Structure 1
Amino acid sequence: MCGRIIITDTAPDLAAMFDVEHEGENLPEPSWNIRPTEQIPIVLESARTDPAVRRLESARWSLIPSFATESRSKFPTFNARAETAAEKPTFKTSVRSRRALVPATGYFEWHTEGTVKTPYFIHSDDGMPLAFAGLYSWWKNPAAADTDPTRWVLSATILTTDAQGPLARLHDRTPVVLPEEWWDQWLDPATAGDQTFVDAAVASSRPVLESLNFYEVAPVTGNGPELIEPVDAVSM
């Protein structure tokens, strides 16, 4: 699973990195401790224009399906299992044509032994941002007036898959990290997504996942660059 992410790049940096044509409003600032339901930047391509426009937008990290009657869900939606995403009512519409990239400097994972949980910071081997395979949805709040500018809520989830290699020693699940050569086809709303398409995306992520590095960090509290310092450096 992926329950805490870190994004240290600014919106202009992300826009340049992902060839974004339009930057949305109120994009979140860099953060070292992003929790589910908080705002995250996502990259998507709008299907309402021809050709599609690549956008960087602020989204709620926990997907709200368009058919929901309220923002709260009976089960967590900040992650979606890649193996079943195309079948689940909550996610299948998004798999079809509302796919996104979720940029991240890395993420935290907790390794559990008995009752002891030890946090680790997972990141790329070259320090470059990761691009998680995500899904997004637009939800219209039925309780909000049509004149309320916040009545439309953009939300997103991160796909996860079985951990491979050294990562499996920490946790049995990991986010799907797409290689750059997959970004365009994943975002393309004209490409109809199904389970076969998702499975191919997961397969493409395997070499990236096997190259990720990780190290132990101090307990994850607060918000600042010290959270991703190795535990040995923290204790000095």
Structure 2
Amino acid sequence: MCGRFVMSRAASDLVALFDVDVTGDTLAEPSWNIAPTDPVSLIVDAAPRGDDAGGPPVRRLATARWGLIPSWADDPRVGVKAINARVETAAEKPTFRDAVVSRRAVVPATGYYEWVTAPDGSKAAHYVHLPDDELLLFAALYEWWRDPRVAQGDPSRWVLSTSILTREAAGPLRELHDRMPVMIGAEVMEEWLDPDTEGDHDLLEGISGESLGQAERAVFRPTSQVGVPQ
């Protein structure tokens, strides 16, 4: 699964690295201990509107709350239980199925933490990352939630939130946990984000399979310093 992760790159680095066209007004700061409900960087490709309709997708870098709040929710606190979405069932679950169809994203990360339980019951944190400081690209879903308690016209009325997809662990990561984030490569990212791509169970199954190669490349080490630069 994925319950804490690291994003040490500045937003300006992400803009250049992913050819971002538009950025949000406020972008997430680098952090070595991102927890549920914290702000995270979110990359989406949106269909152009207005005079640009019919043109290529517009790539956006935004800041989202980690923990997806479905549009029909009465209380935003439900997002705390939706930081992860199982790739095997997301297309059918009411919380995620609409996002699978048309609101897919990528959450970039430097690495993530996983805790391993020892025979004596103690837990040790491990830091998972790719070689050569390569970014992990977590396949994600997102939603916009309208807060009925906030006045119309107030920008804070709309909350952007996200959930990271997970799958059965593979490769060396099986030593840490029975689940792992769905991690995709840059070539798969284009199809995953494309607003013209049909979002369904087949698409989820395909990116889940592509994640196997990233899992084989992943490395990890124990760390006693969660939340400090790696």
- The interval holding the TM-score normalised by the smaller chain is over 0.9
- State yes or no: 1:108 paired with 2:113: yes
* Secondary structure, counterpart of 2:77 in structure 1: coil
Trace 1:37-52 onto structure 2 (pairs within 5 A): 37-47=37-47, 49=49, 50=53, 51=55, 52=57
In the alignment, the residues of structure 2 paired with residue 27 and residue 20 of structure 1 have an alpha-carbon distance, to the nearest angstrom, of 13
Identity %: 47
Aligned to 2:2: 2
Q: Does the 8 Å contact 2:37/2:80 carry over to 1? A: no
Alignment of 1:11-30 (within 5 A): 11-30=11-30
2:84 is the counterpart of 1:82:
no
Counterpart of 1:157 (choices 154, 163, 167) is 163
Q: 1:224 aligns with which of 208, 215, 228?
A: 228
CA contact (8 A) 1:120 1:215 kept: yes
CA offset at residue 46 of structure 1?
A: 2.0
Identify which of 178, 187, 199 aligns with 1:181.
187
- Is 2:62 the partner of 1:57? yes
User: What is the rounded CA distance, in whole Å, between the counterparts of 1:74 and 1:224 in structure 2?
Assistant: 26
Q: Do 1:82 and 1:161's aligned partners in 2 also have CA atoms closer than 8 Å?
A: yes
1:147 is displaced (CA, Å) by 2.4
Alignment pair present for 1:72 and 2:77: yes
**1:185 match: secondary structure:** helix
The aligned amino acid for 1:68 is: A
Q: Which runs of 5+ in 1 are unaligned?
A: 229-236
SS at match of 1:6: strand
1:93 & 1:68 partners in 2: Cα distance? 13
The structure 1 residue matched to 2:100, chosen from 68, 90, 95, is: 95
Whether the aligned pair in 2 keeps the contact of 1:102 and 1:158 (CA below 8 Å) is yes
The root-mean-square deviation of aligned C-alpha atoms, in Å, is 1.3
- Alignment TM-score, normalising by the size of structure 2: 0.94
For 2:88, what is the secondary structure of its paired residue? Answer: coil
Q: Does 1:138 align with 2:127?
A: no
Q: How far off its partner does 1:62 sit?
A: 0.3
Name the SS for the 2:75 alignment partner.
Answer: coil
Aligned to 1:231: none
For residues 60 and 159 of structure 2, the distance between their equivalents in structure 1, rounded to whole angstroms, comes to 16
Say which SS state the counterpart of residue 83 (structure 1) adopts: coil
Per-residue deviation, residues 158-200 of structure 1 (Å, max 9, x unmatched): 0001111211011011001101111111001111200111000
Distance 1:147 1:127 in 2: 42
Letter in 1 for 2:45: E
CA distance in structure 2 between the partners assigned to 1:205 and 1:170 by the alignment: 16
Q: Take 2:114 and 2:31, find their aligned partners in 1: how far apart are those partners?
A: 16
Q: Is the 8 A contact 1:97 1:188 kept in 2?
A: no
8 Å Cα contact 2:67/2:80 also seen in 1: no
In structure 2, what is the equivalent of residue 234 of structure 1?
none
Aligned equivalents of 1:25, 1:53: Cα separation in 2: 16
Cα pair 2:183 2:215 within 8 Å, conserved: yes
Separation of aligned partners in 2, 1:133 and 1:83: 13
**Pick from 198, 216, 219: which aligns with 1:213?**
219
- CA shift, 1:104, in A, is 0.1
